[in-house]
Amino acid sequence: MVRIYDPKERVQGYTIDELITTGNNSVAYSARSATGEKVFFKLYQSPSVRVPWYKPFVQHQAELKKRIEAGPCRQFCYKFLGGFEHERKFHQVFEFLDRSHSLAQIFDKIRVRPSAVSWEQRELMAKVLVAGINQIHGARIVHADLKPDNVMLIEDSSIGMKYRLKIIDMDFSFFTDKKAPWDGHEGYFGTPGYMSPEHMTNVVPSPASDVFTLGIMLYQLLAQGHPYPYDEAEKYLPAYRAHAAAPPKLLGVPKAPARGDVIGDVLHRCLHPDPTQRPTAADLHKALTGDYVPPPEDPGAASRRAEEERTRAEEAERRKKEDVERSREVIRLADDMKKRAEPDPPKPKDGEKLAPRLVLTAADGTSQSIGARVVFGRVVLAKFGDAARYATNEQFVIDRTGDEWFVEPCPNTPNDTMLNGALLVSRSKLAAGDTVSIGKAASKKTVLELTVRAE
Amino acid sequence: MAPATWTCPQDGTENPAAERRCLVCRHPNLPRVVVLRAAATGKEAVLTESVKFGRAVFAHRFADPDAVFAAELQFEIVRDEARVAWVVRPLPGAVNPTCYNGTPIGPAGVELADGGVISVSRSKLRLQVRFKKN
């Protein structure tokens, strides 16, 4: 178990300010250095000092820092400030990106109000993001866990884009010219909805895998949205293999000399199931800036395109059938859960306090006790049963403020988080007897009902 | 000493000083303002876009007593985004040649640099070039 640091606690010259998040591998805090500089302070749960790849991982972090600082990619990446071991745990400190928003937050914003970020700003963001990944690849690094949450935009009204872009969360990035320290011990991270076909088939990701994910993010930024907007993880791979994404429809006219048809073609090829057929990040950047010269087309290309169109149509038809079957399965599962549930769930007592620890109990009696902020996702929820697969990697967060506990839905989850059977839309206070579950507000079907009580 | 880099006003990228366009977004590194100062009178003209110069401008704007040596339309200063440069180009019909740093300019024009001198013939109506970023 990792000890959670308290605010004002001092660790190797750093003073902890507050806990930011608890992830699968680490606990993150904001902290102050000895000189008063605000930093992003990470305590690693994995790797522990006992695993054979711990020391290689520590050396790997030093080399990552060196490669980033040595090349032009440093202006696109957050700064690694240093790492150290404390109480037999690895810690690492990064620059703190104040006044920043993740690209995921920007996507949420433009979903509600598309004009919140202009086409010109979106084009600039795309160019900087792709240029950054191109430079990272130039330093022989594969990011390997790209997603909108790992692209930060720092407010800066002095430039046309209004934000400066930084790529973060690179501690599990690895090198194209060396095996990752965890290779053979652990898998490669990825996030549902943003994983490449290589991630999903246990093939070591490559720069082309980053390009695949870049393609998905650029569809969201510049075109009609996520090219594979599925609720269920098992739908992705067949669609990826069929290259089922519709060609992008750009939301604006690219700045000359860039051309919409060239960008559209290159962007669609980013999602090619065969990594060797994808453009490089450099090609993608050239397409965005108008410097890309398409290779001459071979005579068989037209018939292959027609064949691809046919496959896409067949895949769409098959997916429609799967959707119907999946809905039936969700209803069956929800009915099963109801049958297994206790007839009389514990009733909340008025004014009962939940702190210092809170327990979540499933219908079959499986429970989990928590004492600090926890992000509940598919992995954490797996102990409560199969229905955890309806959760995303980050479905909801439970955390404590003073003596009170709160639950908050995570953005961009295909299935809703429900509180007492109603859609949870914002951070809400928890009381003993409340139930937190996953479902669809529209159909009122829920699974994985967890009852809250004090320990 | 000139700075080793310039910051793109569009996306904030630090580019090497020698790069004419931002390496990330291709925004041209072109001074926004050109100031021309008459050597004879000290009077200035501030340009933010392409402008044609002739006798009237020399007589009134710069109050230069040698204005008669200029043609009605002598040369133009052009903000050339394709070349990523401010350019001085002679206009057809002028009797006296337009020179830059003492050398007559051909029809394609020449790129202006900070501190350069435009003149009519080698020594008349001398205008010193100064760039301003904002």
Query: What phi, psi does A453 have (nearest 5°)?
Result: -150, 165
Q: Is residue A85 part of a domain?
A: yes
pLDDT of residue A394: 83
Instruction: Please check whether residues A381 and A433 belong to one and the same domain.
Output: yes
Instruction: Please check whether residues A248 and A268 belong to one and the same domain.
Output: yes
Hey, which residues 20-49 in chain B have their CB within 8 Å of chain A? Answer: 23-26
d(CA B125, CA B68): 10
- Number of domains present in the structure of chain A: 3
Residue B75 tokens read as: 């040369």
Instruction: Please check whether residues A89 and A127 belong to one and the same domain.
Output: no
A256–B contact, CB cutoff 8 A: no
Q: Using the beta-carbon criterion (under 8 Å), do B14 and A131 form an inter-chain contact?
A: no
Residue A39 tokens read as: 């930093």
A190 Cα distance to chain centroid: 8
Which of A127, A156, A158 lies at the smallest CB-CB distance from B24?
Answer: A127
CA nearest to A122 within chain B: B11
Whole-number CA gyration radius for chain A: 23
B110 Cα distance to chain centroid: 9
Q: CA of A381: how far to CAs of A230, A356, A385, A448, in Å?
A: 20, 21, 7, 8
Cβ pair A212, A191 in contact under 8 A = no
B56–A contact, CB cutoff 8 A: no
Q: Using the beta-carbon criterion (under 8 Å), do A131 and B9 form an inter-chain contact?
A: no
Residue B129 tokens read as: 């070039």
Mean pLDDT estimate for chain A = 87
Min Cα distance B122 → chain A (Å) is 40
d(CA B118, CA B98): 7
Instruction: Please check whether residues A270 and A144 belong to one and the same domain.
Output: yes
How many Cα atoms occupy the beta-carbon half-sphere of A225 within 13 Å?
9
Q: Is residue A260 part of a domain?
A: yes
pLDDT of residue A336: 62
Which of B12, B23, B26 lies at the smallest CB-CB distance from A159?
Answer: B12
Whole-number CA gyration radius for chain B: 16
pLDDT of residue A353: 53
Q: Is residue A301 part of a domain?
A: no
Cβ pair A48, A87 in contact under 8 A = no
**Last residue of one domain, picked from the residues A294, A312, A337:** A294
Side by side, the strands of the sheet bearing B117-120 are B44-47, B33-38, B124-132, B117-120, B98-100, B103-104
d(CA A316, CA B68): 78
Side by side, the strands of the sheet bearing A163-167 are A100-102, A151-155, A163-167
- Look at A380 and B53; give whichever has higher pLDDT: B53
d(CA A167, CA A148): 10
Min Cα distance B82 → chain A (Å) is 11
pLDDT of residue A345: 41
Instruction: Please check whether residues A58 and A86 belong to one and the same domain.
Output: yes
**Last residue of one domain, picked from the residues A67, A95, A123:** A95
The three state secondary structure string of B81-118 is: CCCCEEEEEECCCCCCCEEECCEECCCCCEECCCCCEE
Cβ pair A430, A421 in contact under 8 A = no
pLDDT of residue A344: 45
Instruction: Please check whether residues A139 and A44 belong to one and the same domain.
Output: no
Instruction: Please check whether residues A272 and A135 belong to one and the same domain.
Output: yes
A118–B contact, CB cutoff 8 A: no
d(CA B75, CA B54): 7
Q: Is residue A351 part of a domain?
A: no
Q: Does residue B124 sit in helix, strand or coil?
A: strand
Residue A363 tokens read as: 């219908």
Q: State the residue range of the domain holding A445.
A: 358-454
d(CA A334, CA A180): 42
- Residue A295 is which amino acid? P
Cβ pair A243, A312 in contact under 8 A = yes
Instruction: Please check whether residues A113 and A260 belong to one and the same domain.
Output: yes
B17–A contact, CB cutoff 8 A: no
Domain harbouring A59, CATH code: 3.30.200.20
In 10 A of CB B107, how many CB atoms? Answer: 8
d(CA A418, CA A446): 8
Residue A306 tokens read as: 């027609």
Instruction: Please check whether residues A68 and A166 belong to one and the same domain.
Output: no
Q: What is the DSSP string of A39-55?
A: EEEEEESSS-TTSTTHH
Q: Is residue A82 part of a domain?
A: yes
Residue A417 tokens read as: 């988080």
Cβ pair B124, B23 in contact under 8 A = no
pLDDT of residue A399: 86
Min Cα distance A131 → chain B (Å) is 6
Label residue B124 exposed, middle or buried (CB < 10 Å: 0-12, 13-18, 19+): middle
Domain harbouring A409, CATH code: 2.60.200.20
pLDDT of residue B111: 95
Domains and CATH numbers, chain B: 1-30 (no CATH), 31-132 (2.60.200.20)
Q: Residues B79-105: pLDDT tens digits?
A: 998 889 999 999 999 999 999 999 999
Cβ pair B36, B127 in contact under 8 A = yes
Q: Using the beta-carbon criterion (under 8 Å), do B12 and A164 form an inter-chain contact?
A: yes
Q: Using the beta-carbon criterion (under 8 Å), do B12 and A127 form an inter-chain contact?
A: no
pLDDT of residue A349: 46
d(CA A282, CA A211): 10
Cβ pair A148, A103 in contact under 8 A = yes
**Residues of chain A under the 50 pLDDT cut:** 341-351
d(CA B6, CA A448): 55
Residue A379 tokens read as: 């992995």
Domain harbouring A228, CATH code: 1.10.510.10
d(CA A35, CA B73): 64
Indicate whether B62 pLDDT > 70: yes
Instruction: Please check whether residues A385 and A265 belong to one and the same domain.
Output: no
Q: Is residue A391 part of a domain?
A: yes
Query: What phi, psi does A216 have (nearest 5°)?
Result: -60, -45
Cβ pair B75, B98 in contact under 8 A = yes
pLDDT of residue A374: 84
**Last residue of one domain, picked from the residues A77, A95, A113:** A95
Positive or negative, the CA dihedral B54, B56, B58, B61 is: negative
Positive or negative, the CA dihedral A335, A336, A339, A340 is: negative
Which of B9, B23, B24 lies at the smallest CB-CB distance from A160?
Answer: B9
Q: Is residue A106 part of a domain?
A: yes
Q: Using the beta-carbon criterion (under 8 Å), do B25 and A159 form an inter-chain contact?
A: no
Q: Residue A268: which of A288, A246, A293 has the closest Cα?
A: A246
pLDDT of residue B13: 96
Q: Using the beta-carbon criterion (under 8 Å), do B26 and A289 form an inter-chain contact?
A: yes
ipTM score of complex: 0.74
Which residues in chain B are closer than 8 Å to A160, comparing Cβ atoms?
9-11
Strand pairing category for B117-120 and B98-100: antiparallel
Bridge partners of B15, per DSSP, are B6
d(CA A262, CA A288): 9
Q: Give me the residue label for tokens 């902290």.
A: A31
pTM greater than the 0.90 cutoff:
no
Residue A395 tokens read as: 């479905």
Residue B88 tokens read as: 């001085």
- Residue A406 is which amino acid? F
Which residues in chain A are closer than 8 Å to B20, comparing Cβ atoms?
none
Which residues in chain A are closer than 8 Å to B10, comparing Cβ atoms?
124, 159-161
Label residue B61 exposed, middle or buried (CB < 10 Å: 0-12, 13-18, 19+): middle
Instruction: Please check whether residues A117 and A76 belong to one and the same domain.
Output: no
* Torsion, Cα of B115, B116, B122, B123 (10° steps): -30
A161–B contact, CB cutoff 8 A: yes
Which residues in chain A are closer than 8 Å to B14, comparing Cβ atoms?
75
A124–B contact, CB cutoff 8 A: yes
Q: Using the beta-carbon criterion (under 8 Å), do A75 and B11 form an inter-chain contact?
A: no
d(CA B124, CA B69): 7
pLDDT of residue A346: 43
Instruction: Please check whether residues A104 and A90 belong to one and the same domain.
Output: no
